[in-house]
Structure 1
Amino acid sequence: MIIENVEAYWLRCPIEDVKQHRSDYGLLTHFDMALIVVTTEEGLQGFGEAKAAVGSSGVCASIVSCVEQELKPVLIGQDAKNITRIWEQLYSGSRDHYALARGRKFPILGRRGLTISAISGVDMALWDLKGKSLDVPVVELLGGACREQMPAYASGGWADVDGIGEQLSGYVSKGFDGVKMRVGVMDSTVAKSVARVKAAREVLGPDIKIMADAHGTYSVPEAKQFCRGVEDFDLYWFEEPISPDNPMGTAEVRASTSIPIAAGESEYTCFDVRDLINHRAIDVIQPDAAIIGGISEAMRVGHLAQAWQLELAPHCWGSAFSFMAGVTVAFASPSATVIEFSLGGNPMIYELINEKMEVEKGMIKAPGSTGLGVTPNWDFVKEYTQRV
């Protein structure tokens, strides 16, 4: 499986007015992603996703440039089956021969940030290629699915205190028994966030899982205040309470409450996650396969979760490609028990691909199609590709 070509496309698609939402990121009017395509000499193609932002929108021009100008020359002529070796080469750059000879990393200067996002998309595409070449789902290459199906939780929840109960109840009516809502500076005060969580619990009752996500926007004192305010409302987890730049602060928040703390979607490589664990900052690890370093690195994070007996909950807010990568990692990991499913306006999870994305009665079945199981709608790609 010799690599003949590597391409990257920055896609930007508008979100319908009725499906737009406002959070601490502002009004989200469009969705961005970088589609990575790796083609072999036989014409077989693998597809992956790289992201310039954890949320819906972000300029992907630099990712396209990185893939086509920096990574592509290294990849052309390589055997696509050697996924681990290629990852090490891309991460160590011109010193890759030292890394492979001595068994440790000699990382490039861009060992964090958008370069790792670009590597993520390539890695995802290589796993997709390998699955297709062997006519098996990628999850089979990772050891097989630990479960036949897994529950999904509906990720959304931006409504105000008067509407949050109805909004989340709408998710539950679709079959989900877990929901995630946004809190933090978007509410202007901690008290308003607490009131919204209280309103949600009163409407949903005691049996629905509620997760709260602050997008890293609280200070440490604010996060502690929020935890005290919602202590009686049985949150399943409190996600990214403070800035990911402050792992010791996250650990301080965790030590102050019995509410499980989740984080990891903003981290690059398993080394960042290792540091969170060493700080005793988290209970739930949330790698994003389009950011962390691809399926390869997300699985390494899964191994950390298993070793430390933490919950793994991949961040699946992206296009259908990173979603399926996260689903694949979740099914291959004993530590994962629930999967995120976006209920925000997201054309990249429905219109970008030829296949239909389905959740049945709040459950997702183990991947059964070859590769990652999704392929791009090239008409959509052509219409929404941005010039770089």
Structure 2
Amino acid sequence: MKISNVEAFWLRCPIPKEKQHASDYGLLTDFDMTLVVVTTEDGLQGFGEAKAAVGSSGVCSSIVHCIEQELKPLLIGKDARHISRIWEHLYNGTRDHYALKRGRKFPILGRRGLTISAMSGIDTALWDLKAKALNVPVLELLGGACRDQMPAYASGGWAGVDRIGEQLNGYVSKGFSGVKMRVGVMDDTVQSSIARVRAAREALGDNIKLMTDAHGTFSVPEAKQFCRGVEDCNLYWFEEPISPDNRHGTAEVRASTSIPIAAGESEYTSFDIRDLIEVRALDVVQPDSAIIGGISEAMRVGHLASTYQLELAPHCWGSAFSFMAGLHVAFASPAATIIEFSLGGNPMMYELVQEQITVKDGFIDVPTGPGLGLTPNWDFVNEYKQ
């Protein structure tokens, strides 16, 4: 199980025009991801995803360089089974022996940002690799499944006030009992966001879970105004109301409303999540396995959520690899009760891998395949790698 090679591929695939959507990020015409491949001396391979951006599009060249030029030399010859030890080695650098001896971190300067994203892809690939070697799903190594199936919510909702109800009910017609819509500066005014949410709730009725996501674009006063305007709409949560740089502001928004506040997709490591929890900024914790530090760190966040009796809802907007990483974490975490399922144009979810990821009657079954349960479509990789 010694590591013989580490590769990273920046994939950029065009989104079909009929599946493109516009948000505060602009019109999304391409989907990007970094596919990470870790190979052992006996030829076994594990796969993971590293992200350059929370959304669909992002330039991944820096992550590829970090993995292949900075982290790969540290990994060659290491035992791929020692996942925790490798995480500490990459996070602490040349002082990792102090960290392991003293039992506390001596981190490198790049302890946040793209270095952690790069580590995320490697870490997930190592979990995939080890679970495949043992012929079990990753979640078995995380403690086993807490449930046999999990409800999924449809993540989308960009239509204007006249069509948002129709769009969201289109998701409901596919079997979803929970839906998420986007709000914030893409609507130009707070009142426009409020009107869209009220239209959505009226169209959906009372029995469908409705979430909103502002992508961190409201100011604190705007977020409070929005909350007052939709207070009676029974929102399941309000996601990233303001900039992730302002955790105290997020706490201020949370203190002003009864609507549960969700955040965490833009955070690096469990330390950032700890800081959000300490200022009482959230009710729902949303780590992204391709950003937070891989499956290892996502599970640490899951333990924090359980300890503080918060809901864990992994951010799963990405390729099939980060989706399945989040899914395995969710099934293994007592605090997770619902999983995100992208309804946007996403070729990385369906064409990148040979397996088909399906939701039936609004539920997704516990993963049973070895590792993450995914096999890359190498024709797709070769066609779209940059």
Q: TM-score range by the shorter chain?
A: over 0.9
Report the TM-score when normalising by structure 1. 0.99
Paired residue secondary structure (1:277): helix
State how many pairs are aligned. 386
In structure 2, C-alpha distance between the alignment counterparts of 1:106 and 1:367, rounded to whole Å? 36
Q: Cα deviation per residue 1:261-282 (whole Å; 9 max; x = unaligned)?
A: 0000000000000000001000
Q: Which residue of 1 aligns with 2:40?
A: 40
In structure 1, C-alpha distance between the alignment counterparts of 2:375 and 2:268, rounded to whole Å? 26
Q: Which residue of 1 aligns with 2:76?
A: 76
Deviation at 1:94, TM superposition (A): 1.1
Deviation at 1:7, TM superposition (A): 0.2
Paired residue secondary structure (1:367): coil
For structure 2, list consecutive stretches of 5 or more residues without a partner in the other structure: none
Q: Which residue of 1 aligns with 2:369?
A: 369
Q: Cα deviation per residue 1:302-328 (whole Å; 9 max; x = unaligned)?
A: 000000000000000000000000000
Q: Which residue of 1 aligns with 2:94?
A: 94
Q: Which residue of 2 aligns with 1:161?
A: 161
Q: Cα deviation per residue 1:228-276 (whole Å; 9 max; x = unaligned)?
A: 0000100000000000000000000000000000000000000000000
Q: Which residue of 1 aligns with 2:276?
A: 276
Paired residue secondary structure (1:154): strand
In structure 2, C-alpha distance between the alignment counterparts of 1:191 and 1:203, rounded to whole Å? 18
In structure 2, C-alpha distance between the alignment counterparts of 1:204 and 1:101, rounded to whole Å? 56
Q: Cα deviation per residue 1:65-95 (whole Å; 9 max; x = unaligned)?
A: 0000011001000000000000000000111
Matched, 1:354 2:354: yes
Paired residue secondary structure (1:95): helix
Matches within 5 A, 1:302-317: 302-317=302-317
In structure 2, C-alpha distance between the alignment counterparts of 1:109 and 1:349, rounded to whole Å? 33
Q: Which residue of 1 aligns with 2:331?
A: 331
Q: Which residue of 1 aligns with 2:61?
A: 61
Across the aligned residues of Structure 1 and Structure 2, the Cα RMSD in angstroms comes to 0.3
Q: Which residue of 2 aligns with 1:110?
A: 110
Matches within 5 A, 1:1-388: 1-386=1-386
In structure 2, C-alpha distance between the alignment counterparts of 1:178 and 1:144, rounded to whole Å? 26
Deviation at 1:364, TM superposition (A): 0.5
In structure 2, C-alpha distance between the alignment counterparts of 1:35 and 1:13, rounded to whole Å? 13
In structure 2, C-alpha distance between the alignment counterparts of 1:8 and 1:63, rounded to whole Å? 8
Q: Which residue identity lines up with residue 241 of structure 1 in the other structure?
A: P
Paired residue secondary structure (1:262): strand
Runs of 4+ in structure 1 deviating by more than 2 angstroms, as ranges, are none
Paired residue secondary structure (1:129): helix
Deviation at 1:108, TM superposition (A): 0.6
Q: Which residue identity lines up with residue 45 of structure 1 in the other structure?
A: Q
In structure 2, C-alpha distance between the alignment counterparts of 1:194 and 1:130, rounded to whole Å? 47
Deviation at 1:101, TM superposition (A): 1.1
Q: Which residue identity lines up with residue 254 of structure 1 in the other structure?
A: R
Deviation at 1:97, TM superposition (A): 1.0
In structure 2, C-alpha distance between the alignment counterparts of 1:224 and 1:93, rounded to whole Å? 43
Q: Which residue identity lines up with residue 341 of structure 2 in the other structure?
A: F
Q: Which residue identity lines up with residue 234 of structure 1 in the other structure?
A: N
In structure 2, C-alpha distance between the alignment counterparts of 1:45 and 1:172, rounded to whole Å? 38
In structure 2, C-alpha distance between the alignment counterparts of 1:87 and 1:366, rounded to whole Å? 27
Deviation at 1:190, TM superposition (A): 0.3
Deviation at 1:375, TM superposition (A): 1.2
In structure 2, C-alpha distance between the alignment counterparts of 1:22 and 1:107, rounded to whole Å? 39
In structure 1, C-alpha distance between the alignment counterparts of 2:12 and 2:95, rounded to whole Å? 35
Deviation at 1:330, TM superposition (A): 0.2
In structure 2, C-alpha distance between the alignment counterparts of 1:13 and 1:115, rounded to whole Å? 24
Deviation at 1:41, TM superposition (A): 0.3
In structure 1, C-alpha distance between the alignment counterparts of 2:204 and 2:218, rounded to whole Å? 25
Paired residue secondary structure (1:315): coil
Paired residue secondary structure (2:248): helix
In structure 2, C-alpha distance between the alignment counterparts of 1:201 and 1:23, rounded to whole Å? 20
For structure 1, list consecutive stretches of 5 or more residues without a partner in the other structure: none
In structure 1, C-alpha distance between the alignment counterparts of 2:313 and 2:235, rounded to whole Å? 15
In structure 1, C-alpha distance between the alignment counterparts of 2:51 and 2:208, rounded to whole Å? 31
Report the TM-score when normalising by structure 2. 1.00
In structure 2, C-alpha distance between the alignment counterparts of 1:257 and 1:33, rounded to whole Å? 36
In structure 1, C-alpha distance between the alignment counterparts of 2:319 and 2:178, rounded to whole Å? 21
